[in-house]
Each structure stands twice: as structure tokens, then as C-alpha cells.
Structure 1
Amino acid sequence: MAMLPLLSRIALRPAAASLKPWCRLREGISLPYRALGTHPRKEAMEPLNTSVGARDFVYSLHPTERSCLLRELHQFEAIAIAQEKLEAEPPSADQLRIVFFHNALPFIGFGFLDNAIMIAAGTQIELSIGIILGISTMAAAALGNLVSDLAGLGLAGYVEAVCSRLGLSIPDMTPKQADMWHTRISAHLGKAVGVTIGCILGMFPLLFLSGDEEETKLEKKK
């Protein structure tokens, strides 16, 4: 599951996922993801609706990220309190479309890099180290997956920066509209479609592979 470390951090956990992109676009900078993947203490991750989980999330951020997140939270809560008694309309089709593409674009990049690096690295490992050590194709694929995960740790910030430069920011929505099921479904659907498209496009290294390499490997093993 090579995408799990990337997906877990790119989401920034559901409670804060919609705040950080606004912060980056307003500041005009791209902040790298930190502590991708596993919890540093190998413990079960606490949800953000608990004090332990919220503190753990805050301590994992850069000072710039913390100040930006605090400013956005204050603004978000101020708007939510002012509009608490108002009846919110469902987000429009245009807003949902922007939410969909805003979430889909980064995951296209992650899916593409994950699959492409895994296939390329796994093939080279199988034809080099695999022949020397006599490891199986699945073992070579697992090592290629390892290389893909390691590359994803470093490339996550670059994918995010490229997507932010495309100018597709989150639409102007009220806090109630951001919490509606329409918006959440559109966001999750965008991530799922983005990963699917990215992984399919990331299979392009298979076009440059032929059966001659497999035959050569089998002959060397014999």
C-alpha cells in the first residue's frame, strides 16, 4: 500500500484539511509536509476531537504553519458564530466542481509518482539485485514499493507546490457549507478519482518493458 503514507499526510486529518490550502495560497508559499506516515512513537493516532490528538497535531507543525493555522481558525470561527442563526444554502454546482478538482489534482500527482517509481524501481531491482540474490518477483516489487514510499516522502511538498501554482483555490464557502455532506462527498470523490487517474497514468513505464528482459533473467538463473 504505497499510497498510505502520502494519503494520510496530504489529508492533514479531516478536521484541518480545508484550512491549510487557504493558508498556503494567502501566504504565497508552499509548506512541506512533515512527519509523513507513521506516528513518531509508534502509537495509535488520536483523533483531532481529543486534547491529545489536537496537541499532537499542533506539535508536528512548523511555527509558520501554527501561526497561519491559528489565524485561519480565528477567522473561520468568527464567521461561523456570525452566521450561526442564518439558514445556509447548499453549495452550488460550481462550488462543488471546484472542490472536486481542488482535491483531485494533488492525488493525480501522487498516484502517478507512486506507480511510476514503483514499477521502474521494482523492474531494475529484479533485473540487478534480484538476479544476484535470487529473490522472487514479488520481493522485487516489495523493494520497489519501498523506493516509491521513500521518494514520496521527499516529493510530497513538490507535488503540493505545483498544484498550488495552478491557481485552483478552495471556493468561497461558509463554515456551514464546508461541513455539508455535499461538500464532503465532492472532496472524497475528487481524491478517489485523482488517485485512480494518477495510478493509471503512472503505469506508463510498462510501455518500455519487453519480455526480453524476463527471458534474460530466467537464462541467468539457469
Structure 2
Amino acid sequence: MLLIPCLRRVLRPSRTLASRLGSGRRGERCGFHPLAPSLLSCRSSAAPPRLYGTHSAKEPMEPLNTVEGARDFVYSLHSKERKSLLQELQRFESMAIAQEMEVKPPSSAQRRYVFLHSAIPFVGFGFLDNAIMIVAGTQIELSIGVIFGISTMAAAALGNLVSDVAGLGLAGYVEALASRLGLPSPDLNPKQADMWQTRLSSQLGKVIGVTIGCILGMFPLFFFKTEEEEKLEESKN
């Protein structure tokens, strides 16, 4: 009879430990951890969820599109975070500006202005180059060519040399004269100035301008007599 009470006293701690472990396992099944009872709660419980943010549920937050909200947000950041945010904003703004520039190609009026601004100076360049070359080559052929016996092509090459040297000194005057004509300058940004439409208009203006200038620069030929006309004059005399 004394053996039964002794066994109950010995086995009582093990029963209490088993009951505690069983309750802990039941808590883990429903989302409850015995070591962190304040962080998790059972799914079946109807208790409201806890808020772990720095603001309370009823505290109003200023939006970032206001001065106060933006200021509070910036002041809450670390110095490295503010630096990273500033760099990202600058990169975003530069990308946005670049995209806006790419969307607007030069208009037809701007392309015409580019064509005229490129063509008019080259009309003067072509005119002076051809006129000086013809006059200088003819004079070299009649003077130095007779003395040293150089060919017509050599005299033309020397005339081209004189024309190129004169063009270096007269280029500034031609550009100044073209700028005084009062043509409206094309209002282009750097992206538009680098587009293929702008480059094509500029190259066409240069080609057509120098072609017209070279044709007009051939006018000295009207004042030079041909060999047949010289022979006729000599025969008359």
C-alpha cells in the first residue's frame, strides 16, 4: 500500500513536463511559439494584428508631394542615403531630358535654315576659288610658263596653289559677309544638331553652294581670248 503513493510522487514531475511539451506543440501547430509568445499569435484567434511601425495607426503622414513631407523624409535619411538619393534623382532627370530631346526632330523650316546657312558661305568660297585660280593660272602660264617652259597643267596647279592661299585669308571675310545678310539662325539643341536630318541638310547646302559658286567663278573666261581670236588679230595687224 505504501508503494503506490511513492510511485505517484516520483512520476508527478514527468507528467507535468509532458503536459507542458504537449501544450507547446499544440501552440506551434496553430502558429504559436513557446519561446516568443509576443511575436506570433494563433491563426484561429480573433485578436487584432499588432503594428510594429514607428507611426501609430491614427497618426497622419504627410505625402511626399508637399514641402513638409519631403523635408521630413529627407531629414529622416542617413547622409549616405541622401547622397545616393541625390545621385539617382540627377541621373533620372538627365535621362528624362535626353528622352525629351530625342522625341523632337528638326522641323522642315529648321532644315531649310540649316541648308541656307551652309550654302551661302560656300557660294562665296567656290566663287573666289575658281575665279582666282583661273586668273592666277592664266597669268602664270603667260609669264612664268613662257620663261621656264612649263606646261598648261603645271600653270593650273600653281594657280590652284595661289587660290588656296588666298582662300585661307578671305574665309573670315566671306563668313562675316554671309552673317550680315540677316538670315534667321536655326534654333537647334545639341541633340537636334547631331541628327541625320540636320547633317544631310548641311551637306546638301555645302555641295549646292560650292557648285553654284564655282560656276559663277568662271566669269573671267569671258575676258580671255582664245588662240584662234589671237591669230585673227595678228593676221589683221
Q: Provide the alpha-carbon RMSD of the alignment.
A: 2.2
What residue is the counterpart of 2:97 in the other structure? 83
Mapped to 2, the partners of 1:206 and 1:122 lie a distance apart of 12
Match of 2:99, SS state, is: coil
Mapped to 2, the partners of 1:211 and 1:133 lie a distance apart of 22
1:94 aligns with 2:109: yes
The one-letter amino acid paired with 1:176 is K
- What's the CA shift string for 1:133-191, capped at 9, x where partnerless? 11110111111111111111111111111011112243112222212111110001101
Mapped to 2, the partners of 1:143 and 1:175 lie a distance apart of 41
1:108 aligns with 2:111: no
Task: Flag the 1:82–1:118 CA change in 2: closer, same or farther, 3 A.
Answer: farther
What residue is the counterpart of 2:222 in the other structure? 207
Mapped to 1, the partners of 2:152 and 2:107 lie a distance apart of 49
Instruction: Quote how far apart the aligned CAs of 1:128 are.
Output: 1.1
Task: Flag the 1:123–1:170 CA change in 2: closer, same or farther, 3 A.
Answer: same
| Preserved contact between residue 88 and residue 177 of structure 1 (Cα < 8 Å) | no
Q: What's the TM-score, normalizing by structure 1?
A: 0.57
Query: Which sections of structure 2, spanning at least 5 residues, go unmatched?
Result: 1-93
What residue is the counterpart of 1:74 in the other structure? none
Task: Flag the 1:215–1:169 CA change in 2: closer, same or farther, 3 A.
Answer: same
Mapped to 1, the partners of 2:136 and 2:228 lie a distance apart of 14
Identity of aligned residues (%): 72
Q: How does 1:1-222 map to 2 (within 5 A)?
A: 83-86=97-100, 87-212=102-227
How many residue pairs end up in the alignment? 138
Which structure has the bigger radius of gyration? 2
Match of 1:85, SS state, is: helix
Q: What's the TM-score, normalizing by structure 2?
A: 0.54
Match of 1:189, SS state, is: helix
> Runs of 4+ in structure 1 displaced over 3 angstroms?
212-216
